[in-house]
Amino acid sequence: MKRYVINRLLYSLLILFFVSILIFVLARLMPGDPIRGAAMFNMDLADKEIINDLRIQFGLDRPVYIQYVTWLEDFAKGNWGISLGSGEQVLNMFLRRLPITLELFAGAVFWTFIIGFPLGIIAALKRNSWLDASLTTTSIIGVSIPVFWEAIVLIYLFSVILHLFPPSGFVPFSESPRENLLSVAMPTFIMGTHGAGLLARYVRSSLLEVLGEDYIRTARAKGLRERMVILGHAAKPAMIPVITIVGLSWGYVVGGSFIVEYMFAIPGLGRMGVNAVFARDFPVIQATLIIVALNILLANLAVDLLYGYLDPRVRVN
């Protein structure tokens, strides 16, 4: 198990290294000049002399490979650079918005599990019934529906017509717990919908496969209650394939946060990243994408380690 963990860690670091190169290169392939793009959001940067000085200050006049090495060394030391638009330290911008995005992630995970697991389990236990067909259709809709379209529909229904939730904005929990929950209810639900539908589909198929095994029939023949058969004998083996889907769902949650935060005007990391793209703010774009990549890599690493713990056959000897 120790060797398996070390190999997975090294593999994740190697992927992160190549991802950092890809992010750095793609950021510089974007059309336009980053300093002039930042000047659109900060008129103090509009002077040509200031623009030239800033290009030298941020090292944009040096070869790309030198810029990459310098950026990677500084990033590893905690110096994430300065925003070209606001002049603020990128790390400070990240730390200020991190709690908001983490709250959204927590809410999205809550909706994913609270919806996905019950739907999948009920659909498996009621196989080929009208309830199974209804729940399966619901899960397919959850996987297929675009995030932006779902956001528009829910805003129109629950904000414009029913006036149950605010259409946009964010209220910190410290200011008003009630208003905070109302402001994040729709965004977190939308972020968790795709993962819930995907989770429900795999929970159903995995549980059906396990329920057809010989040891499940033996447990039932012994007179065990159905609840004990499901929880004591079928649950753990059925969850092994589902663990992988949980890791994939996390990637959808992270990606969906960019659209959701922007549409609901939530000042989190996703909205910061979108604004940075519009302004061609290289330091912010690079930091945001690296954190996203690291987040997804850590989630998949946790899934791999848990998978290796539950199923020794996948470990490296």
Look at residue 41 in the predicted model and tell me its pLDDT: 47
Q: Phi/psi of residue 109, each to 5°? A: -65, -40
How far is CA 239 from each of CA 88, 247, 302, rounded to the nearest angstrom? 45, 13, 15
> Which are the contacts of 293, defined by CB distance < 8 A and separation ≥ 6?
16, 19, 20, 23
Amino acid at 169: G
Within a domain: 39 = no
Look at residue 294 in the predicted model and tell me its pLDDT: 86
Within a domain: 81 = no
CA-nearest of 279, 299, 269 to 112 is 299
* Mean pLDDT in order along the chain per 10 residues (317 residues): 75 86 81 57 55 66 80 85 81 91 90 89 86 87 86 92 90 90 93 86 84 78 76 72 72 82 90 85 86 84 74 57
CA dist 11 and 202 (Å) reads 27
CA-nearest of 303, 292, 298, 300 to 261 is 292
Nearest-10 Cα torsion for 90, 94, 96, 102: 180
Look at residue 165 in the predicted model and tell me its pLDDT: 92
Within a domain: 198 = yes
CA dist 245 and 248 (Å) reads 5
Look at residue 77 in the predicted model and tell me its pLDDT: 86
Within a domain: 222 = yes
Query: What CATH number is associated with residue 264?
Result: 1.10.3720.10
Within a domain: 230 = yes
pTM score, whole prediction: 0.79
Within a domain: 303 = no
Q: Give the tokens for residue 5.
A: 């963990």
| Residue 82, strand partner residues | 89
Sign of dihedral through CA atoms 126, 130, 133, 139?
A: negative
Look at residue 10 in the predicted model and tell me its pLDDT: 85
DSSP class per residue in 197-224: HHHHHHHHHHHHHHHTSHHHHHHHHTT-
CA-nearest of 174, 193, 173, 194 to 183 is 173
Q: Phi/psi of residue 89, each to 5°? A: -60, 130
Number of alpha carbons in the 13 Å side-chain half-sphere of residue 24: 18
Within a domain: 24 = no
Look at residue 186 in the predicted model and tell me its pLDDT: 93
| Domain residue limits at 118 | 100-279
> Which are the contacts of 48, defined by CB distance < 8 A and separation ≥ 6?
none
Number of domains in the chain: 1
